[in-house]
Amino acid sequence: MDDTLTEDHRKVVGAWGSEEALHMFLETEVQRLCTLICGAGVEPPRAEVRPSFLSRGLLGGKLRGGEYEPKDGSYKATIAVFPNVCSDRGLLSTVLAHELVHHWETISEEELPPRYPPEVDETIKEIFGSENAERSWRNSHSEKFISKGWLVTQQLGIPVHSFLANG
C-alpha cells in the first residue's frame, strides 16, 4: 500500500475515529455553510477527501487545503479537501467556507460591488510573499470573490488570514 495513503488514513482516523465520521461532518457542514453563504434552496456541492499527493501542483508549491470544481455536464459541483486540514475542525470549516464562496461566485446572480478594507490586500501580500505568487492566486480569486469572502469572514467569525490562505 502507498505510504502517503496510509499516512492520510492515520491522520483522518486519528482526528475523527473513522472516515465515515469525517464524511458525515463534511456533508452536514457543507449544507449548513452553503445555506449561509449561497442562500436557502441552493444545492450544496458534494464533498470529498482527496489524498495528500494531489494537493500540490505538478511543480510543487504550496500545500492546498481544498479545491472547488464547478458542475460540468453530469459531474456535480464538488469541494475536495485534503487531509492536512482535516484534523482541525475550525480550519476545515474555514476551507469549506472558502470553497463555498467559489460555489457562490459560480452560481449566484447576487450583485456585490467589489469592496473590502485595505488590510485585506495587505494580508494577501503577506500570505503570498512574492508578486508572482500573488498574481497567480488572484487569477483564480477575483475582486468579487475577495469581497464576498471578506463579508463571510465577518458574518461567520472566520479568521481572514486563514480564509485567504487555505484554498
Cα→Cα distances 37→49, 149, 155, Å: 21, 9, 9
Give least dist CB 6 to Zn ion, A.
Answer: 28
**Between 16 and 137, whose beta carbon lies closer to Zn ion?**
137
Give least dist CB 102 to Zn ion, A.
Answer: 6
**Between 86 and 100, whose beta carbon lies closer to Zn ion?**
100
**Between 83 and 167, whose beta carbon lies closer to Zn ion?**
167
**Between 26 and 166, whose beta carbon lies closer to Zn ion?**
166
Cell of 107: 452560481
**Between 44 and 65, whose beta carbon lies closer to Zn ion?**
65
What CA–CA distance (Å, rounded) separates 163 from 37? 14
Close Cβ partners of 99 (under 8 Å, ≥ 6 residues apart): 45, 66, 67, 68, 79, 81, 167
Question: Interaction with Zn ion in 100-119: which residues (CB under 5 A)?
Answer: none
The answer to whether 37 and 101 are in contact (CB under 8 A) is yes
Give least dist CB 126 to Zn ion, A.
Answer: 17
Looking at residue 54, the DSSP 8-state letter turns out to be: G
Q: Which residue is nearest to Zn ion (CB)?
A: 167
Query: Is residue 65 a contact point for Zn ion (CB under 5 A)?
Result: no
Close Cβ partners of 39 (under 8 Å, ≥ 6 residues apart): 108, 110
Number of residues that bind Zn ion (CB under 5 A): 1
What CA–CA distance (Å, rounded) separates 63 from 19? 21
Question: Interaction with Zn ion in 128-167: which residues (CB under 5 A)?
Answer: 167
Q: Which residues bind Zn ion (CB under 5 A)?
A: 167
